[in-house]
Amino acid sequence: MIPLAAGMILVALALTAVQLLPTRELAPLSARAEITFEQSAEGSLGWEQLVTFLAPKYFGTSGAQGSNFWLSGPYWQYWETCLYIGIGGLVAVCASLRLIKNNRYLAFFACIALFGLLYSFGDNFILHTIFFRFIPGFDKFRVPARMIYFFIFGCSILSAFGLQDLFEKLQSQPARLKKGIISIAGAGIIVWLMAQSGAFQSVRNPQQLPQIHALAVSGATTGAVLLLILAGILLLASRKTITPSAAVGALFALQFIDINVFGFDQNNGSVNPDEYYASKSEIVNVLKEDGKQEYFRINSRLGGSMILDRNQGMLDRIFMMEGYTPLALQRIFPPGRGWDQTCDMLNAKYRLVVDRQNQSMGLGKAATYLPRAFMVYRTKIVHDENEERTFMASPEFDPARIVLLEENPALEESPAVPNASVPGRHIEPPDTTYTSAWSASISSYDLNEITMNVTSPKDGYLVMSEIYYPGWNAYVDGAKRTIYRADWNLRAIPLSGGSHRVEVRFEPERFRTGFRLTASTVFVAALILGGAPILARRKRVLKNDPVAPGDTAPP
């Protein structure tokens, strides 16, 4: 059994390698590479939320245009900490529990469900603490309540066996369901009485209590009605008023209605997305028209003010400094003497301007922003992050004239440019001789490839206001060149004097290795699955006719 289990794990890893290997590369570079225990416990399930087994909307809900989820505490959004599998599903799971003692497979899935449930309590139970402290990898995840998926997976298997057992009981021993029917009806009544009594209903503002009480009673009433209907179906079946098949069909119908009542209006909104994003069309059209002349970014958010939606850039294909993604890197914004210098380095031509006195805001055009690609002829090598931060925040740092590198370029790539980091030397006054003689124009810009035509009067570095990430390669006149991390999180390519065609391509080796491994595994698995019936058929033929082809049968 152990070799078989190990083989299954290896096959699973090979099948997922195309995603797993790039993820392993991203993980240490992500903004979530290191989190504290307190951060990891955000989004834990509360013990009081067990009531949502029977009344999922007891504490309110969250939607696309607002939330009435009133339970206090770091519970995040309702969809992260909701615990509901349907009334019918819950009863079927309860019916399966008596079978676990004699069925080791059910015991296995019951353990999965129990693990998912207990882990979901986060810092409200010891399990998450143990895994966070001692099990590698578990210190990288937040929102323990997402482990509810394991609970739901285990319950889906348990409920199938429970429903089968329930069907057999309805056929052979319907009278034995009497206690269960009473328990189901009693649970509905108890939940409703809890809501009426104000259980768990406490907020800082007493004026909100009537609204909260109404939400709790409404959610509890829905759960109680469903429980009573379920008890009624089982009661009719136990008295043979309806057949067991009809009862099971009614349970399926109730589960379908139940899940739809619970989930149909979750996270919905009445606003048309096209209308929502079109409300900023006047600003977007100006930016897109200007974008035909050059590549630039927009800084549309400052503090709590935001003039464009965080994901507007993806929809309208405009470059924005803001966005919404859990895959953000640690090094998003380069440090500087201030936010304006950070925006300059990130090629932000337009920036949000807020007039708090008149409560208005708009986009202003900056005069100091750096191009998307430009030449620099002075370097400083820094190997320490703190030293790099300190220097970038000092008046000596001018990103238009000096580039910071974190490693010494390869000898054959390193252009002969002044180095400002030689011990005992002062940084010389900026060299203005060549600052206006270079040119760098982007001829094509795609997600995975950027092509530029660059002319420089002497050796230097082409600095790109693009985020540095492993897997990007540069090709200068067809010859491969290394891309170096520059100015904290940008890219720099060594260039010799003259005119060059520079291509920058995303060629992630981890992805390619993973793809080859996954594709090979799929190919081998297809051969095995396709050949298995042929081998089985050949064995049956040989078993029925042991005389091999070409042999002569004995007289």
SS3 56: coil
pTM of the model: 0.77
Q: Which of 84, 56, 51, 81 is nearest to 199 (CA)?
A: 51
Residues in the chain: 555
pLDDT for res 433? 47
Q: Does 428 have pLDDT greater than 90?
A: no
Is the domain of 430 the same as that of 541? Answer: no
Is the domain of 81 the same as that of 226? Answer: yes
Q: Which of 19-28, 153-162, 170-179, 270-279 has the lowest mean pLDDT?
A: 170-179
pLDDT for res 426? 33
Higher per-residue confidence, 551 vs 249: 249
Q: Cα(350)–Cα(296) distance, rounded to whole angstroms?
A: 8
Q: Does 265 have pLDDT greater than 50?
A: yes
Rg (CA), the chain: 32
Q: Does some domain include residue 272?
A: no
Query: What is the domain extent for residue 221?
Result: 32-263
Q: Does some domain include residue 119?
A: yes
Q: Does some domain include residue 353?
A: yes
308 with 277: CB under 8 angstroms?
A: no
Q: Which of 323-332, 365-374, 462-471, 489-498 has the lowest mean pLDDT?
A: 323-332
Q: If pLDDT is split at 50, 70 and 90, which confidence band does 1 have?
A: low
Q: Does some domain include residue 325?
A: yes
Is the domain of 398 the same as that of 257? Answer: no
pLDDT for res 430? 44
Separation of CA 421 from chain center: 41
Is the domain of 336 the same as that of 377? Answer: no
Q: Which two tokens stand for residue 526?
A: 């297809």
Q: Does 334 have pLDDT greater than 90?
A: yes
* Alpha helices in 28-103, H assignment, sequence order: 37-40, 87-96
Could you say which of 263, 295, 323 is where a domain stops?
Answer: 263
Could you say which of 313, 333, 364 is where a domain stops?
Answer: 364
Q: Does 136 have pLDDT greater than 90?
A: no
Is the domain of 252 the same as that of 149? Answer: yes
Q: Does some domain include residue 444?
A: yes
Separation of CA 40 from chain center: 15
SS3 502: strand
Q: Does some domain include residue 74?
A: yes
Could you say which of 364, 387, 408 is where a domain stops?
Answer: 364
pLDDT for res 152? 93
Is the domain of 402 the same as that of 502? Answer: yes
Q: Cα(270)–Cα(532) distance, rounded to whole angstroms?
A: 54
Q: 341-392, pLDDT tens digit by residue? A: 999 999 999 999 998 888 889 999 999 999 999 999 999 999 899 999 999 9
Is the domain of 291 the same as that of 381? Answer: no
Is the domain of 488 the same as that of 412? Answer: yes
Q: Are strands 403-405 and 379-381 parallel, antiparallel or unpaired?
A: parallel
Q: Does some domain include residue 494?
A: yes
Is the domain of 257 the same as that of 183? Answer: yes
The strand ranges marked E within 277-420 are 297-299, 301-302, 305-306, 348-355, 360-365, 373-376, 379-381, 403-405
> Amino acid identity, residue 528?
I
Average pLDDT over the chain reads 87
Q: Does some domain include residue 383?
A: yes
Q: If pLDDT is split at 50, 70 and 90, which confidence band does 507 have?
A: very high
What are φ and ψ of residue 376, in 5° steps? -130, 140
**Share above pLDDT 70 across residues of the chain, in percent, rounded to a whole number:** 92
What are φ and ψ of residue 492, in 5° steps? -135, 140
The total of structural domains in the chain comes to 4
Q: If pLDDT is split at 50, 70 and 90, which confidence band does 429 have?
A: very low
Is the domain of 227 the same as that of 160? Answer: yes
> Amino acid identity, residue 55?
A
Q: Does 150 have pLDDT greater than 80?
A: yes
Q: 79-105, pLDDT tens digit by residue? A: 778 889 999 999 999 999 989 988 999
Q: If pLDDT is split at 50, 70 and 90, which confidence band does 162 have?
A: very high
91 with 231: CB under 8 angstroms?
A: no
Q: Does 181 have pLDDT greater than 80?
A: yes
Q: 192-218, pLDDT tens digit by residue? A: 888 888 888 776 677 788 888 898 899
Is the domain of 148 the same as that of 245? Answer: yes
pLDDT for res 422? 43
Is the domain of 253 the same as that of 290? Answer: no
Q: If pLDDT is split at 50, 70 and 90, which confidence band does 323 have?
A: confident
